A and B are shown apart, each in its own frame.
Chain A
Amino acid sequence: MNQMTDLSTTDTSPMLRVTNLTHRVGLEIDTLTILQGVSLEINRGESVAIVGRSGSGKTTLLGLLAGLDTPTEGTVSLDGAQISSLSEDERARLRASRVGFVFQSFQLLPALSALENVMLPLELAGMEAPEVRAKELLERVGLGERLNHTPRQLSGGEQQRVAIARAFASDPVILFADEPTGNLDNRTGQDVSDLLMELNREQGTTLVMVTHDEHLAARCGRQLHIEAGILTEPELARERAN
């Protein structure tokens, strides 16, 4: 884990580099441009919040950054790999070893226990002793007593904590989160975001997070604004203006 931190300090190339990203979807009659000319660099160890109104294109951008979808135009390179030119399976392999996710709706597999949900990415990445590592993480998120409970037996906040444990399980270099507190009440949301930030710091992970929660956004090192598919960075703009 420390090694990870070392890496991020020694390797100075950006974790994520996006150039001129445009995304359009074909509707029945015409095409809709969701993202337009987005360019952006995120450095190793940075934590970035993407904020914007509903429907502005946040989720779409996150999906493209994480390689879950491919853009209409432009390139995305993640940890040195040009993901927009990789095949779907190559992107999947990249995700398995280097990317973690936290979702608004938790996305735990209902049939698996908390422990098994956390073990799943470890097994998919072919890591050794997945159970030991999964238990360690669940204890870290405070669910050491609930290992064998299925998602249905857990509260929303607990489910999200399992999801966070899962996200960090395979030692990702970058973590994507789409409104991780969106489905939780304020208090729980607070707890969950504390946990997320803490773990992120401990592991030295790069964090890219979409959120409506201003407090949470403020805790990130950097905020990006998106409006109608166009990305702006207030501080950068202010700096430039200055």
Chain B
Amino acid sequence: MAAKQKLMSVRRDWRERDVRVVLVALVIAVATVATIALFANQLQRTLVSSASSFLAADRQLEAENGRPVPQAWIEEARDRGLETGQMIEFSTMVLGESEFQLVSVKAVSDEYPLRGEIEIQPTADATRHMVGSGPGRGELWVNPRLLRLLELDIGDTLEVGNLELTITSLLLREPDGGFRLSSLAPRVMIHVDDVPQTGVIQDGSRAEYVYLFAGADNILDDYFQWLEPQLEPSHKWESVRDGETFSRSLERAERFLLLGGSLAVLLAAVAVAVASRQYALSQRDTVALLKTLGLSSKGIGGLYLRRLALWGIAGALGGLLVALPLFWILVRLLSDVLEQPVDFYLDPAALVPALLTALVSLFAFAYPPIRRLRHVAAMRVLRSQPGETGREAIPDIIIAIVAVFALVWLYAGEIALVVSLLGGLVLLLAVLALLGGLMVAALRRVRGGGNAWRLALVGLYRHRQASMAQMAVFAMTLMLAATLILVRTSLLDDWQSQLPDNAPNHFLINIAPDAVDEVEAFWSDRGAPLDSVYPMVRGRLTELNDQPVQEAVSKDERVGALNRELNLTWMAELPADNEIVAGAWFAQGDTEGVSVEAELAERLGLVMGDRLTFTIGSETVTEPITSIRTVQWDSMQPNFYMAFPPGGGLANMPGTWITSFHLDESNKIALNEFSRRFPTVSVLEIDHIIERIQQIVRQVTQAIEAILALILAAAFVVMAAVVSATLKDRQREGALLRTLGGQQSLLARSTMLEFAILGFFAGILGIIAAEAAVYALQARMFEGNFNWHWQVMLPIPFISALLLALFGRWQLRPVLNVSPMLLLRRLE
């Protein structure tokens, strides 16, 4: 092999410690970013498809007006290559052995469900299993509780309207167990083609036609664009993303992943920058010699540029080689959590950010110090030249900072993230400068001596520039890791508090006012006390400041809320999860005013003091807005757009009561007795949905923890890179000290102390900066409230002190265990 080519071979480079660090950092950067991107993609798809099954499709079109939509709409969807399906939901009375029972019928086409599966049990003692389509013609699947209410068995027949159907299976869980009011009664499922023969649906009877669509996102979006102008107000287009319940969890998980990816990029960038600077310094002699032998500075530039390119290729390939198996493991974990096989979804586009990271890391972080090699004086071969003062590196640092934030921005697409992280870093550097100044001033006084502490402090002072640089990098690394830990902790807490184990999972609707006490007593006797019970009055918002609301509100804002009846309530206390954003909650004894939900108020352009007129049956009520409040729709509590004070506008309006409560699986049998005693009260069972959401949260949590582990590994490599940067000097110094008679144990202790002090202060700086960054992030990206996290943060300085001390000790082991003579020769 030609000598010049050999100078550039990666295999040869690998023997050089700094190159190894650069390559490892590159591999980690590429691997982390690629894994995160791949996995985020996979998670997104899995979550969406798992959440899609809440709709039993990717999109649903609901016609609430009781009429089917034009067939042309469905044909258009099919022409565009979308899968379609249909269902009709309606309520009807059926006659069991001894009594009539109101049931909610869901009639489904062969294609149902397009997403997700139905859980059934063909006989009472068969095992439950999942199936991919609904009952055939002539069949009927039934909710187990209903079967008991009707005193029927599998194999019996049941008449729905005029049609006699055979009960062939128990219906345990349907993928799209939504909150539709029409489905309050116990469920039976039949085939959609049997509906006409039942004769139940006639003009004017209440039925809901629901159309299912599935396909690629862009086709669905295009289709909706085509469809939208033709939709009537009673048509509702639903996608998973709109579903209040998951969107927040999904969005936050995505942001967390983005944040993690960005931090990985930052960490890798730091490692690459540190190691390549070190590498450049070590290459100066070689460059001087090459120049002496006649290589021009252009030739030198080309040589190192080609070398960088080789590193880039090696780093990218290595990174992918790590990322793919890792991704495979994560997906396997995911399917374990989901208890169902997950299809791999390897999107090549997800690799672009990883390769871009490699490219930018190399050219923005590794290249600048290496580029300056061209200016090394040839005279260096004859006499060592004044070293770099560090001032030359300032443009490098500026280039690096700009590049890294451009990368994070590009990658996360969140200016808030970039600003928060940058702010945290600036704060960190400012505090470091201050603290460093003080420390150097204090250390100056320390005199050396035979004591490990003194030796450590003197060591810190003697290497004050390197010490400060190391501290800056350690602190930055710790800050990034701490930020991630903090965000993860608050994210999980938030999810946990959103859906605690005893979250309400059943709603009782339609409780007659005089039955409220009895219902409450029924459930508290059975150990499942009700949460708050709210009155509910159905009414329509008709006037705004004495003008018909359709005129008062601009056309675009004629939201669904105006077309249907709203649930109105009255209550004395503000529910715990509501928050007043304008005005004040009703005082004791207030009877005037109405409190409006914030998002609706915003969409309709309502402000404090606006007078709202509601039409309830034949009556009207007019009240001024006295407060605007936010509502947590995903709290699984009854929520209301409009709340009146007790004795206020709704005082004499006809209404029923609604409540939610937690009922354990083991207690569910009590529902039968309840239905018999309170036949008019509707029970809405959402325990399966809650379980699903909890499952999703669990799986996202696992993913987050896996990614956190990856990032902490990246952080460790950065630290290692930085410590190794001064390794040679330290080893030489240690060897010299030992030659001059320093004892091994003294040397070991003072080195460990020196690193421990560095680690401790870096830890303190890191957590201060992390709290600052999280403060900004929390407010802007995760919509959470900021809390201090001392329990999480406090151990960090101690852990970093310990780890660094051990690492320092480990790095010094060749100096400690070998005879000084051998050492000096080896280090020459």
Identify the A interface with B (CB < 8 A).
59-60, 62-63, 66, 68-69, 88-89, 92-97, 99, 101, 103, 107, 109, 111-112, 115-117, 119-121, 123-125, 130, 170, 178
Assess the B293–A111 pair: CB atoms within 8 A. Answer: no
Residues of chain B with a CB closer than 8 A to A121's CB: 293-294
Residues of chain B with a CB closer than 8 A to A89's CB: 296-298
Given contacts A92-B378, A107-B381, A112-B7, contact A101 B295 (CB under 8 A): no
Chain B, residues 5-17, CB within 8 Å of chain A (1/0): the string is 0110000100100
Select one of A62, A68, A88, A119 contacting B297, CB under 8 A: A88
Assess the B382–A62 pair: CB atoms within 8 A. Answer: yes
Interface of chain B residues 272 through 309 with chain A (CB within 8 A):
285-286, 289-299
Q: List 30 A-B contacts (CB under 8 A).
A: A59-B382, A59-B383, A63-B379, A68-B292, A68-B377, A68-B378, A68-B381, A68-B382, A69-B377, A69-B379, A88-B378, A89-B298, A92-B294, A92-B296, A93-B296, A94-B294, A95-B292, A96-B294, A103-B381, A111-B7, A111-B12, A112-B7, A117-B3, A120-B3, A120-B4, A121-B294, A123-B3, A124-B294, A170-B294, A178-B382
A131–B305 alpha-carbon span in the complex (Å): 26
Residues of chain B with a CB closer than 8 A to A111's CB: 6-7, 12, 15
Select one of A60, A62, A116 contacting B3, CB under 8 A: A116
Residues of chain B with a CB closer than 8 A to A103's CB: 381-382
Nearest CB of A to B3, in Å: 4
B300 — nearest CB in chain A belongs to which residue?
A92
Identify the B interface with A (CB < 8 A).
1-4, 6-7, 12, 15, 285-286, 289-299, 377-379, 381-383
Select one of A88, A99, A123 contacting B4, CB under 8 A: A123
A89–B374 alpha-carbon span in the complex (Å): 11
Nearest CB of A to B435, in Å: 29
Residue among A99, A112, A124, A130 with most chain B CB within 10 A:
A124
Residues of chain A with a CB closer than 8 A to B285's CB: 107
Given contacts A112-B3, A119-B2, contact A101 B292 (CB under 8 A): yes
9 smallest beta-carbon distances between A and B, as pairs: A96-B294, A116-B3, A89-B296, A68-B378, A95-B294, A69-B379, A119-B3, A120-B3, A121-B293
B386 — nearest CB in chain A belongs to which residue?
A25
Assess the A116–B6 pair: CB atoms within 8 A. Answer: yes
Count A-B contacts at CB 8 Å. 87
Given contacts A59-B382, A68-B382, A124-B290, contact A92 B3 (CB under 8 A): no
Assess the B381–A101 pair: CB atoms within 8 A. Answer: yes
Select one of A62, A93, A116, A117 contacting B294, CB under 8 A: A93
A66–B288 alpha-carbon span in the complex (Å): 14
Residue among A68, A125, A178 with most chain B CB within 10 A:
A68
Nearest CB of B to A160, in Å: 15
B377 — nearest CB in chain A belongs to which residue?
A69
Assess the A96–B293 pair: CB atoms within 8 A. Answer: yes
Residues of chain A with a CB closer than 8 A to B379's CB: 63, 68-69
Residues of chain B with a CB closer than 8 A to A95's CB: 292-294
- Starting from the known contacts A63-B382, A69-B377, A111-B12, 9 additional A-B residue pairs (CB-CB under 8 Å) come to A59-B382, A69-B378, A92-B296, A96-B293, A97-B294, A103-B382, A123-B3, A124-B4, A124-B290
Residues of chain A with a CB closer than 8 A to B299's CB: 92, 124
Assess the A125–B377 pair: CB atoms within 8 A. Answer: no
A70 — nearest CB in chain B belongs to which residue?
B379
A111–B12 alpha-carbon span in the complex (Å): 7
Nearest CB of B to A24, in Å: 15
A62–B383 alpha-carbon span in the complex (Å): 11
A125 — nearest CB in chain B belongs to which residue?
B294
Residues of chain B with a CB closer than 8 A to A119's CB: 2-3
A125–B292 alpha-carbon span in the complex (Å): 12
Assess the B2–A96 pair: CB atoms within 8 A. Answer: no
Residues of chain B with a CB closer than 8 A to A124's CB: 4, 290, 293-295, 299
Residues of chain B with a CB closer than 8 A to A63's CB: 379, 382-383
A89–B375 alpha-carbon span in the complex (Å): 11
A96–B296 alpha-carbon span in the complex (Å): 9
Nearest CB of A to B752, in Å: 32
Residues of chain B with a CB closer than 8 A to A69's CB: 377-379
Residues of chain B with a CB closer than 8 A to A120's CB: 3-4, 290, 293
Assess the B289–A107 pair: CB atoms within 8 A. Answer: yes
A91 — nearest CB in chain B belongs to which residue?
B378
Assess the B295–A96 pair: CB atoms within 8 A. Answer: yes
A64 — nearest CB in chain B belongs to which residue?
B379
A62–B379 alpha-carbon span in the complex (Å): 10
A115–B12 alpha-carbon span in the complex (Å): 16
A125–B293 alpha-carbon span in the complex (Å): 9
A179 — nearest CB in chain B belongs to which residue?
B382
A170–B293 alpha-carbon span in the complex (Å): 10
B294 — nearest CB in chain A belongs to which residue?
A96
Residues of chain A with a CB closer than 8 A to B294's CB: 92-97, 99, 121, 124-125, 170
A62–B378 alpha-carbon span in the complex (Å): 12
B4 — nearest CB in chain A belongs to which residue?
A123
A69–B7 alpha-carbon span in the complex (Å): 25
Nearest CB of B to A111, in Å: 5
Nearest CB of A to B378, in Å: 4
A20–B309 alpha-carbon span in the complex (Å): 47
B286 — nearest CB in chain A belongs to which residue?
A109
Select one of A66, A97, A130 contacting B2, CB under 8 A: A130
Residues of chain B with a CB closer than 8 A to A62's CB: 382
A20–B383 alpha-carbon span in the complex (Å): 23
Residues of chain B with a CB closer than 8 A to A66's CB: 292
Residues of chain A with a CB closer than 8 A to B382's CB: 59, 62-63, 68, 103, 178
A99–B292 alpha-carbon span in the complex (Å): 9
Residue among B291, B299, B382 with most chain A CB within 10 A:
B382
Select one of A92, A94, A109, A115 contacting B7, CB under 8 A: A109
A95–B294 alpha-carbon span in the complex (Å): 5
A62–B292 alpha-carbon span in the complex (Å): 13
A109–B293 alpha-carbon span in the complex (Å): 12
Residues of chain A with a CB closer than 8 A to B12's CB: 111
A119–B4 alpha-carbon span in the complex (Å): 9
B15 — nearest CB in chain A belongs to which residue?
A111
Nearest CB of B to A189, in Å: 19
Assess the A109–B4 pair: CB atoms within 8 A. Answer: no
A60–B385 alpha-carbon span in the complex (Å): 12
Residues of chain B with a CB closer than 8 A to A93's CB: 294, 296
Assess the B6–A112 pair: CB atoms within 8 A. Answer: yes
Nearest CB of A to B728, in Å: 14
Nearest CB of A to B486, in Å: 45
A123–B295 alpha-carbon span in the complex (Å): 10
A204–B236 alpha-carbon span in the complex (Å): 97
A115–B408 alpha-carbon span in the complex (Å): 47
Residues of chain A with a CB closer than 8 A to B4's CB: 120, 123-124
Residue among B6, B292, B293, B378 with most chain A CB within 10 A:
B293
